[in-house]
Structure 1
Amino acid sequence: MVIFIFFAALWYLSLFSQTFFQHRYAAHGAFTMGKGWERFFFIFTYITQGSSYMSPKAYAIMHRLHHAHTDTELDPHSPSTSSNIFTMMWGTRTVYQDILHNRMDVEAKYMKNLPEWDRFDKFANSTLSRLLWVAVYVLIFIVFATSPYQYLLLPIVVSMGAFHGAIVNWFAHKYGYINFKLRNTAMNLLFVDVLMLGESYHNNHHKHPSSVNFGQRWFEIDPVFYIIRGLACLGIIRLVVLPKKQVVLS
């Protein structure tokens, strides 16, 4: 039971860090925060993502490239240019590493208003850091696993971020429904997105990339939007892009 609770907690905490800090804040600037809170969420993201931590700066650049070049050869992750989900994931990793280590020429327009903490990111992305997190996860399983089959969850725990990315970047470009007719394959994967905390409303997001609320229709509940509104009320963040009005299928 402990392992399943740990897995669920890690799934949602790491996913929250991704959608709140790396995606909506770093990539799209839907809200702002002071430098102190930014450093806090750097650390929070590192703790919750562990061995699959991604630099918010590098993530933001890669995600901006995805929006600019969706479904083309320049898209860092697209089913349209990948033969299967594994080649897409590997290609995503390659682009991320090239951006992170400055091996890729990136146009200036994709480099604006990025959260930067280079010394922290250097350690957080290091092999040592990732191995330490893997050791922690293995120890947790050794202590709390009550059946050998529970160890099947360990590879997902170690690469949690990659699994989150694969679900959205592969399946939400192949399956689902649309609210907006776009010049790309982005679709809304789930009607009520409890699994991905609003990230599966991919068609909505490609229509309104900087909207703080990924949901558009009455049944499209985006749990993170309400957390963001709460943090704004507390003065921790300041909303820049207000949510778009709900729409009817067009």
Structure 2
Amino acid sequence: MKVIVLMIILWYSGLFFQTFFLHRYAAHQTFTMSKFAEKVCFFLTWIFQGSNYLSAYGYGVMHRLHHAYADTEKDPHSPKYDSNIFTMMWRTKNTYQDINKKRIKVDEKFTKNVPQWERFDAFASSKLSRLAWGALYTAFFVVFATAWWQWLFLPVAFLMAPIHGVIINWFAHIYGYVNFKVSDTSKNLLPFDFLMMGEGYHNNHHKHGGRANFGGVRWYEIDITYYIMVVLDKLNFIQLKKSALVPVKREL
């Protein structure tokens, strides 16, 4: 039971900082925050993503490229141009690392105002950090796993962030429904996105990339992350931008 609880915590906490900090802040800047709050988010992203830590800079720039070139040959991840999940994710990994380590030149419009904490990223992305988190996960399983099948979750703990990426970048471009006609294959994966905390409303997001609420187009589209953001805004931890709060209606 404790292994299952750990997996649920890792799934939703890591996912929250991916969608809240890396996606809606670093890539789309739907809200602002102080430099102190930003550094707190860097640290908490490392804590909750652990061995899966993703740089806000690498993720933010890559995601902007995804929106600009969705489902074209320049898209960092598209089922349209990769034969299977594994080749897509391998290409995604290489693109992310090239951007994060600045091995390729990227147009300034994709890098403008994307947050970066180079020294912390170097530490959090290091082999030492990833191996330390992997050792902690393994030790937890050694102590608390009570059945052989629970060990099947260990690779998931190691690869949580890539798995989150696969669900959206592969499956949400193949399965689901649409509210808007767009120039790519993005779809809304689930009517009520309990699994991906709003990330699954991919078609909505591709139509209105700067909108803070990924759901809310149909009555049952509840974006859990957005409502957490509203609370954080009320607590003055973040400041939601007025331009990101525009309501929209379905267009088909």
TM-score, structure 2 length as denominator? 0.98
Q: CA deviation at 1:249?
A: 4.4
Aligned match of 1:181: 181
Matched, 1:247 2:249: yes
Matched, 1:70 2:70: yes
Aligned match of 1:203: 203
Aligned match of 1:172: 172
Q: CA deviation at 1:148?
A: 1.1
**Which consecutive unaligned segments of at least 5 residues does structure 2 have?**
none
1:7-26 aligned at under 5 Å gives the runs 7-26=7-26
In the alignment, residue 237 of structure 2 is paired with which amino acid?
I
Q: Secondary structure at the match of 1:5?
A: helix
Q: CA deviation at 1:114?
A: 1.2
Aligned match of 2:88: 88
Show structure 1 runs of 4+ deviating over 6 A: none
Aligned match of 1:226: 227
Q: Distance in 1 between matches of 2:38 and 2:72?
A: 33
Aligned match of 2:150: 150
In the alignment, residue 67 of structure 2 is paired with which amino acid?
H
Q: Distance in 2 between matches of 1:93 and 1:208?
A: 26
- The RMSD of aligned alpha carbons is 0.8
Identical aligned residues as a percent? 53
Matched, 1:102 2:102: yes
Provide Cα deviations, 1:114-159, integer angstroms capped at 9, x if missing partner.
Answer: 1121000001111111111100000010010001110000001001
In the alignment, residue 172 of structure 1 is paired with which amino acid?
A
Aligned match of 1:42: 42
Matched, 1:31 2:31: yes
Provide Cα deviations, 1:74-99, integer angstroms capped at 9, x if missing partner.
Answer: 10000000000111111100101111
Aligned match of 1:133: 133
Q: Secondary structure at the match of 1:64?
A: helix
In the alignment, residue 228 of structure 2 is paired with which amino acid?
I
Q: Distance in 2 between matches of 1:230 and 1:214?
A: 16
Q: Distance in 2 between matches of 1:188 and 1:49?
A: 25
Q: CA deviation at 1:244?
A: 3.1
In the alignment, residue 232 of structure 2 is paired with which amino acid?
L
TM-score, structure 1 length as denominator? 0.98
Q: Distance in 2 between matches of 1:211 and 1:248?
A: 14
**Which consecutive unaligned segments of at least 5 residues does structure 1 have?**
none
In the alignment, residue 80 of structure 2 is paired with which amino acid?
S
